[in-house]
Amino acid sequence: MIFIKAQVHRNTVVNTGKRSFLFLQGPCSPLFAKLADHLHSQGHAVHKINFTGGDVAYWTPRKATLFRGELGSLPEVLEAVRKKYAITDQILFGDCRPIHVAAKQYARQHGIRTHVFEEGYFRPYWMTLEREGVNGHSMLPRDPDWYRRIGKYVPSADDKQIFHAPFKVRATHDVIYHVAGLGNRLVFRHYKSHAPDPVALEYAGYVNRFVRLHLTKKQDNENIQHLLRKKIPYYLLPLQLNSDSQIQVHSTFTNMVEVIDLVMRSFAEHAATRSWLVIKTHPLDAGLLNYGKIIEKQARQLGLNGRILFLQSGNLNTLVAHARGLVTVNSTAGGLALELDCPTVTLNNPIYNLSGLTFQGGLNAFWCNSEKPDQELFRCFRNTVIHTTQVNGSLYSKPGIDLAVKNASRFFDTDKSPLETFL
C-alpha cells in the first residue's frame, strides 16, 4: 500500500506560469530547505517528498509528501505528485541512490528536468550542479579541443568567495540527520539507505580511527619529511571511499583493496627500483578495513619492503606537489594533481581524463613516463567546468549554504543550463 500525504509548500500558488520544483533527497544539511524557500520567494511552486526521518528533520516545518512504500511503488507516487502540482523540475543530491535512479527514469519519460547536486569537482569552495547527471553521467564532453574552444569565452574561475567550513559542522549535521532516522522503522519501515554499512558501525569506526590518528600523525609527518628531505622519488595513490558512487557505479572496481592490489603489482613490475609508492587513506574513511595490514602483506609478497609508505594523515597538497606522479581511479584528487602540474593516470574515466591532461598510455607505462599536464588546456578545462557545472558555496556551513543558494539561481532561471548553452 502506498501512503501519500501531499501538501503544498507554504502559501504556494500552483500554475502561476513559473516552474514547479519537486525536491527529493538532499544532503544532511539545511541546503535544500533554504533553496526551496528562495525559489518560493521567486514565485516558483515548491514541493518535497520525504523518504526518511532525516529528510523530515531538515524540511520541517514545511509541508511534504511522505513516501512510505517500497521502491517499486515510487513511480506511482511521482505520478500523483506530478499531476497534482504540475511538476516541471526535480532537484536531488547524488544521482546514483536507488530512489534517484528511479526518479530520473520517471522524469525522462515525462519531460521533467532533473537538477543534480553533488560534492564539487573542485573543492573546497565549489559544489556541483548539473542537469540530468554528474560524474560518469555528466554531459561534459570528453574532447580536449572543445575545452580549448569554449575556454576562450568563459570567465576566469579565480573570482570566488572564500568561506570557513569546519568539519565539526558537517559531522554535526550528519549526526542530526541519522538520529532523526532512528524512527524509520516505525514511520519509513521500507526505507533502505544507499550507504553499504550501518550508521552505528561507521560512527564506531570513526571514533576508533580518530583516536588512533593522534598516535599516527606524528609518525606520518616524520615519514613525509623524510621523503622530502632525502628527495626520494615517489608516486602517490590517494584512496577513495569504498561506498563512493565513483567506485560502486562509475568504475570497474568493487573496492579499494582491488585497486591497491592492481597498483602495487604494476609498481613492483614496472617502476624504477629506487622509487617509492605512497598510499594515503581517505580523510573520511571510517577505518573499517585495516589497510595498513593489507598493504604490508602485499608488500612482502611482492618484494616491496622499504618502498611502500602507508599514511593515515598528511597534507595532500604537499604530497601531490612533490610526487613524480599520481594514480587514481576517478577521485577529485586527480584535479588537484593537474592543477599542481603533477603527471596523472586514471584507472577509469573521470571527467578530466583527457588527452593532454592525463597520461593515456596505461598504468604499466606510467611509472617510467613523466608527461606533465598541458597547463593551458587545464586552464580552459577548469574555467569551463566551473562556469558550466559548479556553484561557489558549500553543502554544510551556514555561510557556504547561503552563498550556494544565491549562486545556484542561474542554473534554474533558464530553460537551458549553462553547460547546455555551450553544447
* Low-confidence residues in the chain, pLDDT < 70: 1-17
pLDDT score for 301: 97
pLDDT score for 413: 86
Cα-based distances in Å from 268 to 39, 241, 365: 55, 24, 12
pLDDT score for 171: 92
Q: Are residues 310 and 341 in the same domain?
A: yes
pLDDT score for 196: 73
Q: Are residues 176 and 256 in the same domain?
A: no
pLDDT score for 42: 95
What single letter denotes the amino acid at residue 143? Answer: D
Q: Are residues 375 and 400 in the same domain?
A: no
Q: Which residues contact 267 (CB under 8 A, 6 or more apart)?
A: 235, 277, 304, 367
pLDDT score for 210: 78
Residue 358 lies in a domain: yes
pLDDT score for 205: 78
CA 14 to chain centre: 34
Residue 3 lies in a domain: no
pLDDT score for 204: 81
Cα-based distances in Å from 198 to 52, 242, 287, 353, 366: 15, 14, 14, 34, 38
pLDDT score for 211: 78
Q: Are residues 228 and 112 in the same domain?
A: no
pLDDT score for 212: 80
pLDDT score for 339: 97
Cα-based distances in Å from 125 to 37, 132, 197, 386: 23, 23, 29, 11
Residue 80 lies in a domain: yes
Q: Are residues 230 and 354 in the same domain?
A: yes
Q: Are residues 370 and 323 in the same domain?
A: yes
pLDDT score for 202: 82
Q: Which three cell numbers stand for residue 283?
A: 580523510
**CATH number assigned to the domain comprising residue 175:** 3.40.50
pLDDT score for 58: 97
pLDDT score for 3: 40
**Overall number of domains in the chain:** 2
Bridge partners of 131, per DSSP, are 115
pLDDT score for 162: 92
pTM: 0.91
Residue 126 lies in a domain: no
pLDDT score for 12: 35
Q: What are phi and psi of 174, to 5 degrees?
A: -65, -45
pLDDT score for 2: 39
Q: Tell me the C-alpha distance between 339 and 328, whole Å.
A: 15
147-169 pLDDT, tens digit per residue, is: 999 999 999 988 889 999 898 99
pLDDT score for 1: 33
pLDDT score for 209: 80
Q: Are residues 111 and 207 in the same domain?
A: no
Range of the domain at 47: 20-119+162-192+393-422
